[in-house]
Chain A
Amino acid sequence: MSSMAPSDDDLIKRAQANDLDAFCRLAERYARRIHLLASHYCRNAQDAEDLSQEVWLKAYQAVRTFRSDSSFYTWLRRITINAFLNHRRSSFFRRRGQTMAVQLMPLDSDTPEAVFESRSDSPENIYNKLLFENVVSALAELTPSQRLAFLLRHYEGMTYEEIANAMNCSSGTVKKGVSRAIGKLRARLSAEAEEPEALTERSVCNAQL
Chain B
Amino acid sequence: MHNCKDTKERLIEIALDEAVLPAALSRCDECRVEFEALNATLRATARLRETVVPPGTYWSGYHARLRQRLTKESPAKAQRRQEKIVFASSFAPLRLCGRLLGKSLKSSVPVPVPLGVAILILFALLAIRPSAAPPQSPIVVHVPVEVPVVQEKTVTQVVYRDRRRTPKPTKRASLAPGPENTFANLAGFKPTDEVKLTVIKGGIPNEK
Known: A63-B75, A154-B46. A132 touches B52 (CB 8 A): yes
Does B12 contact A116, Cβ atoms closer than 8 Å? no
The reply on B78 being an interface residue by CB < 8 A is yes
Interface size bracket, A side = 35 or more
Q: How far is the CA of A32 from the CA of B52 in the complex (A)?
A: 10
Does B42 contact A182, Cβ atoms closer than 8 Å? yes
The reply on B126 being an interface residue by CB < 8 A is no
Which single residue of chain B is at the shortest CB-CB distance from A188? B41
Does B45 contact A53, Cβ atoms closer than 8 Å? no
Cβ < 8 Å to B, chain A residues 14-41: 15-16, 18, 20, 23-24, 27-28, 31-32, 35-36, 39-40
Which single residue of chain B is at the shortest CB-CB distance from A24? B67
Which single residue of chain B is at the shortest CB-CB distance from A63? B75
Q: How far is the CA of A60 from the CA of B70 in the complex (A)?
A: 7
Interface string of A102-146 (1 = CB under 8 A from B): 100001111110111111000000001001100100000000000
Which single residue of chain A is at the shortest CB-CB distance from B41? A186
A115: min CB distance to chain B, Å: 5
Does A178 contact B12, Cβ atoms closer than 8 Å? yes
Interface size bracket, B side = 35 or more
Known: A20-B67, A60-B70. A109 touches B45 (CB 8 A): no
Cβ < 8 Å to A, chain B residues 27-80: 37-38, 40-49, 51-63, 65-67, 69-71, 73-76, 78-79
B6: min CB distance to chain A, Å: 13
Which single residue of chain A is at the shortest CB-CB distance from B59? A31
The reply on A87 being an interface residue by CB < 8 A is no
Please pick, from A15, A108, A131, the residue contacting B57 in the complex, using a CB distance under 8 A. A108
Which single residue of chain A is at the shortest CB-CB distance from B54? A115
The reply on A204 being an interface residue by CB < 8 A is no
Does B78 contact A61, Cβ atoms closer than 8 Å? yes
B residues with CB within 8 A of A = 9, 12, 15-16, 37-38, 40-49, 51-63, 65-67, 69-71, 73-76, 78-79
